[in-house]
């Protein structure tokens, strides 16, 4: 192998190593983001008054929560809700597209009808002819109505947050204690970091409630 061939091989390997490192960083970021969302969901549930049980989900291994008499896994529930929302958004987008097409067709028909009426008026009385104003008045209400329909389709109901503050604080204290004990007992540095993060989130939520 010549000098130039060796340099090409080295350059190719360097590019491969860089791409592998970028892929590793992307995967790490996705894992960290998933953990952050899971911790955020747990904090929101605790603030609503939900309590964390000692049981764990058979599917993902996350703690199970009890709220209003129901025991559930917030992680698996969120994934199922995300899939349902995706289907609903796709259906609403299709309905909005159909409504937009119908509104555009209606606007075009109104414009053609107004233009024909204006032409007849122009032939009867030249001095009163104003086709530009007629077309402008006919098209504007349709465009306004179409925009209103699209805005109505895209609106989402705001999320309601409720829960007893005292119960939420007690639950947060239990979560903080649980996470701190798990972090102290585990030998896995990565798991310890996760438990400490959960404990810090719970402590911050408690501090916010105490203000």
Note whether 139 and 110 are within 8 A (CB).
Answer: yes
pLDDT band, residue 31 (cuts 50/70/90): confident
pLDDT band, residue 11 (cuts 50/70/90): low
* Residue 64, SS3 per DSSP: strand
pLDDT at 61 (0 to 100): 82
* Residue 115, SS3 per DSSP: helix
Note whether 75 and 38 are within 8 A (CB).
Answer: yes
Note whether 199 and 183 are within 8 A (CB).
Answer: yes
Element (H, E) at 169: helix 165-185
* Residue 124, SS3 per DSSP: helix
179 Cβ neighbours under 8 A, 6+ residues apart: 195, 196, 198, 199, 202
Whole-prediction pTM value? 0.34
What is the spatial distance between Cα 175 and Cα 45, in angstroms, rounded to a whole number? 12
Note whether 49 and 68 are within 8 A (CB).
Answer: no
Note whether 126 and 117 are within 8 A (CB).
Answer: no
Q: Which of 157, 137, 139 is nearest to 147 (CA)?
A: 139
pLDDT at 124 (0 to 100): 53
Across the chain, the runs of DSSP E, i.e. the strands, are 51-56, 63-67, 70-72
**Polymer length of the chain:** 211
Q: Which of 38, 84, 37, 42 is nearest to 67 (CA)?
A: 42
119-166 pLDDT tens trace: 555 555 555 555 454 445 544 455 555 555 555 555 544 444 445 677
Q: Per-residue pLDDT for 203 more than 50?
A: yes
Q: Which of 181, 185, 174, 166 is nearest to 47 (CA)?
A: 166
32-75 pLDDT tens trace: 787 778 777 777 877 788 888 888 889 888 888 888 889 998 88
């Amino acid at each position: 192998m010549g000098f130039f061939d060796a340099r090409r091989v080295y350059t190719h390997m360097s590019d491969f190593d860089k791409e592998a490192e970028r892929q590793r960083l992307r995967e790490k970021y996705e894992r960290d983001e998933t953990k952050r969302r899971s911790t955020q969901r747990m904090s929101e549930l605790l603030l609503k008054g939900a309590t964390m049980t000692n049981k764990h989900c058979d599917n993902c291994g996350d703690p199970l929560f009890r709220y209003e008499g129901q025991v559930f896994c917030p992680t698996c529930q969120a994934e199922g809700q995300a899939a349902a929302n995706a289907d609903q958004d796709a259906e609403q987008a299709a309905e909005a597209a159909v409504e937009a097409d119908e509104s555009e067709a209606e606007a075009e028909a109104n414009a053609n009808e107004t233009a024909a009426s204006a032409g007849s008026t122009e032939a009867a009385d030249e001095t009163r002819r104003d086709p530009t104003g007629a077309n402008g008045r006919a098209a504007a209400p349709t465009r306004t109505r179409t925009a209103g329909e699209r805005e109505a389709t895209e609106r989402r109901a705001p999320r309601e947050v409720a829960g007893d503050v005292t119960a939420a604080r007690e639950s947060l204290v239990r979560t903080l204690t649980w996470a701190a004990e798990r972090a102290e007992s585990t030998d896995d540095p990565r798991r310890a970091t996760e438990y400490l993060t959960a404990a810090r989130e719970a402590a911050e939520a408690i501090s916010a409630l105490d203000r």
